[in-house]
Amino acid sequence: MAAISTSSRRSTGQRLGAFFELCKPRVNSLIVFTAMIGMFLATPSFPPFGLFVAASVGIALVAGAAAAINCLIEKHIDSLMARTRARPTARGEVSYTETLTLATLVGGFGLWILYSFVNPLTMWLTLATFLGYALVYTVLLKPATPMNIVIGGASGAMPPLLGWTAITGQVGPEALVLFLIVFIWTPPHFWALACYRCADYAKSGLPMLPVTHGIRFTCLHSLLYVVMLTAATVLPYTLGMSGPWYLLGALVLDVIFLVYSVTLWRDYSDKLARLTFRYSIIYLTLLFAALLADHFLR
């Protein structure tokens, strides 16, 4: 009752601001960025401006709605963890009904934009991504298996593929390579966070890999994934999607990531895990920026 009362006293603007926070704008900015890169890579020059804007806005709205639903479902879990206890749902600043209603409206509007102004394939794939993240990953996988992020990472890897289909109307091998890169990147990125937040996850009851199998085991698997990631980042060059400038940039980024991962496995510390997590975000951003730069330099 106290949470409901707190929610009822907040103004409409405050509630909308709280809902915007639930949409995880910082996380989703990277999602939309990779989708935009997928759009640029799908065309020899610049994608049509109207199509580019419509696809970007539609994907952003659906991604935000999925994040809000994730926060709503994990309200109790978020309230137990230091990293997430300040989220508006965990604090009772927005009600269940308000969050569900706004997420439905925002997500539905995003899907309508994609269907009406982009193409049906992108809309259906985006809907599948929404269901995969908000329901399959959050409800089924996350509380059930320590491999949750490996399987659930497929949803987070979809944005560059969605960007590609927005322009071409089809799923090509190049789009699958972009998907593969983000898919393999996701576990070492998330496991670094899970390691230095291990106590939080243990308190929440979620079977994250560092909790169930230990930090050293997790760091070893992160290293193996970074090795696979290094191989995957060469594929755009071998397929002719990019040239030597991208390859050089990718290899430099890969070497740095490998150094972080090896050091984390051999001499773990929470500080290093935090630095590795931060670098993983920089890594993916610069890798896709290198793809974009090489695209226009060729």
CA 43 to chain CA mean position, Å: 24
Count the Cβ atoms, other than its own, within 10 Å of residue 17: 14
* pLDDT digit string, tens, across residues 195-232: 998 888 888 788 889 999 999 999 999 999 999 999 99
Judge contact between 55 and 110, C-beta under 8 A: no
pTM, entire model: 0.89
Task: Provide CB contacts within 8 A for 33, sequence distance 6+.
Answer: 285, 288
The residue ranking higher by pLDDT, 272 or 28, is 272
* pLDDT digit string, tens, across residues 243-271: 999 999 999 999 999 999 999 999 999 99
**Which of 204, 225, 201 shows the shortest CA–CA distance to 213?**
201
CA–CA dist 11, 210 (Å, integer): 41
Task: Provide CB contacts within 8 A for 121, sequence distance 6+.
Answer: 165, 169, 170, 171
Residue with tokens 């269901």: 131
Judge contact between 52 and 39, C-beta under 8 A: yes
Q: What is the pLDDT of residue 10?
A: 63
CA–CA dist 207, 118 (Å, integer): 39
The residue ranking higher by pLDDT, 2 or 16, is 16
**Which of 153, 22, 150 shows the shortest CA–CA distance to 78?**
22
Q: Tell me the pLDDT band of 72, cut-offs 50, 70 and 90.
A: confident
Q: Which letter, b or e, does each residue of 113-123 get, where b requires 16 or more Cβ atoms within 10 Å of its Cβ?
A: bbbebbbebbb
Mean pLDDT of the chain: 89
Please tell me what DSSP assigns to residue 171. Answer: -
* pLDDT digit string, tens, across residues 118-154: 999 999 999 999 998 888 888 777 788 888 888 878 8
Which helix (H) or strand (E) covers residue 255, if one does?
helix 244-266
**Which of 147, 152, 120 shows the shortest CA–CA distance to 136?**
152
CA–CA dist 72, 92 (Å, integer): 10
86-90, 159-163, 243-247: range with lowest mean pLDDT: 86-90
Q: What is the pLDDT of residue 207?
A: 86
CA–CA dist 4, 282 (Å, integer): 39
Q: What is the DSSP string of 52-99?
A: HHHHHHHHHHHHHHHHHHHHHHTHHHHHHSTTTTTSHHHHTSS-HHHH
Cα–Cα distance list, 54 to 112, 119, 123, 124, 163 (Å): 10, 10, 11, 15, 11
**Which of 252, 240, 189 shows the shortest CA–CA distance to 44?**
240
Calculate the CA dihedral of residues 261, 38, 175, 117 and round it to 10 degrees. Answer: 140
DSSP SS3 for 243:
coil
Q: What angle do CA 197, 285, 131 make, to 5 degrees?
A: 65
DSSP SS3 for 23:
coil
